[in-house]
Structure 1
Amino acid sequence: MNRLLLALTLLCALAAGPARAEIEPGDLTLTVTPERNGNADPFAREMVLLRIHGVYKQQILLEEVVQPTLANFSWTQLGRDIWSRTKLPDGQSAIAFDRVIAIFPHHAGDFTLDPFVHRLTLSDAGVRKVVDVRSAPISLPVATWKGAGGPDAKEPWWLPARDVSITDSWSPDPETLKVGESARRIVTVEAQGMVAEGLPPRPVMRTRGILTFAGPVNRETIITPQGPVARATYQWDVKPAIDEIIPLNAITISWFDTVSRTMREAEIPARQIGGGLPDREGEAPRAAFASPYAIAAAGLAAFGLGLALLGYGVGGGARLRLGAPSRRALRRAAAAGDATAFRSALGQGLQAEPGLAPIWQGQPETATALAALDRAVYAPGGSPAPDLRRLAARLSRPVRQRGGAQESDPLKPLDGVPAPP
């Protein structure tokens, strides 16, 4: 009888043990940390990252994040929530939760962000229990701009970003245009740490002697783990109305560097309309007009120089260059950050100018960049691509052909096969 009572007592103790287990302080924690650029108070419309981090020792069945209203702020979530296993300093295992939100203050002032709440449904000895885990409130002052410009000024447009880049493309090249012909200009502006609505309106492109027809403006926001990237594409159709060389001035876009906390400028480059220069970067422009006497003198000089070179055996090789369509394709792929399209355009260009491959292979910096490009495209698992814009500019320059026998298959040096000595 005593043994039976003892056994019943032990069973009741074991059954009651888990039911009496309570959540202890520190078992469920939620923190929200603001990430300020340069550890400085942000200005209006400047991005601040909120990193939400939870650590939970209990088994979780369901969960929901209850976000405060975030009055006076715009916001966007960057990617999906991340759940992972983590080890605590005491060696215990726990579940980690991470979410990143980008917020943008509407105006200056001293603000307090209310707590975030992570509503968890836990399993406690087979019984469901709902627990609200709260973060601490956050003080977030937004600074007032001092000096000219700034968030409240109508001009120049306020553009706070980590970095701003501009890509300018024409089709066909504006130097080749004649009266009545038209070209399409496409300008792409990218700003890191912004949403597309924060990019400026289409710039005004106007000068004497041209007709411009503005096209639609396309905006998009690309979400990355480091924050949003804003992209705006502006386009115009441009037509010269006079038979002259028309200079088109550069357009500057002011922006606030949120890393260095200074104002900077990005530029839509100046171009020339007309003049008959078929996209020859690095080559001197020809004169717009030449007299018959100058033409005759130049012809005689060229004839005499040719005889001198033949007489003295002076060489140096012909100048080689990728064709204009290939150069434009490289620039488009570089602007899009598309290494695969870049490599494809390069291969097509080399089919027309195969002599370029061994020359580039003999240039250490170019050869290194091309090898990095091939690893990015062909290596298993991928590899970081080189600076495509810089590489496109380098490959677009004319080069002088070396003397001697050429490689039988000029694509081999770019595909990792060494050229014969």
Structure 2
Amino acid sequence: MPARKGEGRTLATVAAALSALFLLAAPARAEVAPGDLTFTVTPERNGNAAPFSREMVLLRIRGVYRQPILLEEVVQPSLANFSWTQLGRDTWTKTRLPDGPTAIAFERVVAVFPHHAGDFTIEPFIHRLTINDEGVRKVVDVRSAPIALPVAQWTKPTGGPDVKEPWWLPAKDVTITDSWSPDPETIKLGESARRIVTIEAQGMIAEGLPPRPVMRTRGILTFAGPVTRETVITPSGPIARATYQWDVRPGVPEIIPLDAIVIPWFDTVARIMREAEIPARQIGGGLPDREEDAKAAAPVSSVLIGAAGLLAFGAGLALVGFGGRSSSRILRLDRTARRALRKAAAAGDAAAFRAAIETGRQADPALAQKWRADSAIVAGLTALDDALYGRGDGATLDLRGLADRLARPVRVDAGRAPAEARLAALDGRSTRDRAG
């Protein structure tokens, strides 16, 4: 049946209203001058090379807009072959364009992790903007260009992202800090010490760091504590940090060697495998760091005290009359100096290592003379100075080994050469130089 005239007008009015609502709801094709709205997604490839599976790639998303932005929304593609996480919050700043005027800059950083090797394409991101175009609100979709992102297959005979052991750890740099409280060499049967190990990896997030390492050896009891993880966002990329802790208790009275724990990692800049190490330590058998830590002497009778006094008086007269030597003693760097050496060695910081040695020099000069008599320590100090002052051949310094040697307790005769001669080998000057 044909519609009546009045009904026709009503239907036309409803249709016009629906069309207007549709136009308001749908994104408008705003007439925007070229260059007014730019939106780019730039992948940051480590070492400018194709990533491996599970290696992080940063997508730096940036928009530059001349018009005022009323509302905005980033529409992200599915990223079907990647895991991803946004690093930090979006930032909005003012920027000056090359031709002079200012504009609004939008930035977002997304980290993506490919699941497996292959040739992939990251589809365009869309920034849906509501702008004020000469007093009219318009919705504009600004698209980035698609990105080709090939993921390389691991071809080396060992390691790689698909091997369960050892842990796959791709990073720009990895550092390990190891601390004990108290020093493990001072604890005895029935006592315990807390070990805290911190691993920092540049260029990855904390979820990618390995699980707590296994610290197990015969003769000790270990009680694992909580693991804490955090990701620190910096302008150059994320830094992952994980802290592991254990309470360690010796189960036997003997000295217990605790082996080093090696953590392999993939250098994403040099594209090679490297190793970081939680250093080896010794449980028990060491010296107390302070005199009050030493065990108190057992009580003795008054007769023995008197006899000991007479013997000491006679020995003193003998030393005065005949210039006899003083008794030997055991010396060792204090805890602060040992920690400074190990920290500098773990970081590979030769300058800080040398500074820690200089601090140790301020202790008993007889300890420095013992270092001078140790050919391995002399060779290590010479190599260290050659590296610091540009005289070396570029050989790798074994700072950890040198730190272990310098931290060992030594037995010395308290009545040997003068202090100046003992320190000559450490500051690089001879006695003749000092006299001149």
Instruction: Please classify the TM superposition score into its range, dividing by the shorter chain length.
Output: 0.5 to 0.7
1:130-171 Cα shifts (integer Å, max 9, x gaps): 101000111111111112120000111100001111111111
Corresponding position: 1:194 with 2:224:
no
Partner of 2:140: 131
Question: CA distance change for structure 1 residues 56 and 186 in 2, over 3 Å: closer, same or farther?
Answer: same
Question: CA distance change for structure 1 residues 142 and 25 in 2, over 3 Å: closer, same or farther?
Answer: same
* 144, 150, 160: which one aligns with 2:170: 160
Instruction: Return the alpha-carbon distance in structure 2 between the equivalents of residues 44 and 260 of structure 1.
Output: 17
Matched-pair contact (CA < 8 Å) for 2:177–2:343:
no
Corresponding position: 1:91 with 2:91:
no
* 185, 202, 224: which one aligns with 1:175: 185
Q: Secondary structure at the match of 1:79?
A: coil
Corresponding position: 1:81 with 2:90:
yes
Partner of 1:149: 159
The structure number with the bigger radius of gyration is 2
Partner of 1:23: 32
Matched-pair contact (CA < 8 Å) for 1:51–1:100:
yes
Question: CA distance change for structure 1 residues 254 and 117 in 2, over 3 Å: closer, same or farther?
Answer: same
Instruction: Return the alpha-carbon distance in structure 2 between the equivalents of residues 90 and 78 of structure 1.
Output: 32
Q: Secondary structure at the match of 2:47?
A: helix
Instruction: Return the alpha-carbon distance in structure 2 between the equivalents of residues 213 and 59 of structure 1.
Output: 59
Unaligned runs of 5+ in 1: 1-20, 281-299, 313-318, 338-349, 357-389, 404-421
* 124, 127, 130: which one aligns with 1:118: 127
Question: CA distance change for structure 1 residues 329 and 260 in 2, over 3 Å: closer, same or farther?
Answer: closer
Matched-pair contact (CA < 8 Å) for 2:50–2:150:
yes
- CA RMSD, Structure 1 to Structure 2 (Å): 3.8
Amino acid in the other structure paired with 1:89: P
* 35, 45, 58: which one aligns with 1:49: 58
Corresponding position: 1:230 with 2:230:
no
Question: CA distance change for structure 1 residues 259 and 307 in 2, over 3 Å: closer, same or farther?
Answer: farther
Partner of 2:112: 103
1:217-268 Cα shifts (integer Å, max 9, x gaps): 2222222222222222222221112221111111100000001111000000
Matched-pair contact (CA < 8 Å) for 1:175–1:279:
no
After TM superposition, the score normalised by the length of structure 2 is: 0.60
Instruction: Return the alpha-carbon distance in structure 2 between the equivalents of residues 81 and 328 of structure 1.
Output: 45
Instruction: Return the alpha-carbon distance in structure 1 between the equivalents of residues 56 and 75 of structure 2.
Output: 22
* 273, 276, 284: which one aligns with 1:266: 276
Matched-pair contact (CA < 8 Å) for 2:96–2:103:
yes
Matched-pair contact (CA < 8 Å) for 2:92–2:104:
yes
The 10-residue stretch of structure 1 (168-177 or 266-275) with the greater mean CA deviation from structure 2: 168-177
Question: CA distance change for structure 1 residues 278 and 30 in 2, over 3 Å: closer, same or farther?
Answer: same
Q: CA deviation at 1:311?
A: 5.9
After TM superposition, the score normalised by the length of structure 1 is: 0.62
Question: CA distance change for structure 1 residues 79 and 327 in 2, over 3 Å: closer, same or farther?
Answer: farther
Question: CA distance change for structure 1 residues 93 and 235 in 2, over 3 Å: closer, same or farther?
Answer: closer
Question: CA distance change for structure 1 residues 268 and 209 in 2, over 3 Å: closer, same or farther?
Answer: same
Question: CA distance change for structure 1 residues 78 and 151 in 2, over 3 Å: closer, same or farther?
Answer: same
Matches within 5 A, 1:351-366: none
Q: CA deviation at 1:40?
A: 0.1
Unaligned runs of 5+ in 2: 1-29, 291-311, 325-330, 348-358, 364-399, 410-418, 421-436
Matches within 5 A, 1:378-393: none
Question: CA distance change for structure 1 residues 248 and 330 in 2, over 3 Å: closer, same or farther?
Answer: closer
| Percentage identity across paired residues of the two chains | 75
Matched-pair contact (CA < 8 Å) for 1:79–1:225:
no
Partner of 2:352: none
Instruction: Return the alpha-carbon distance in structure 2 between the equivalents of residues 50 and 81 of structure 1.
Output: 13
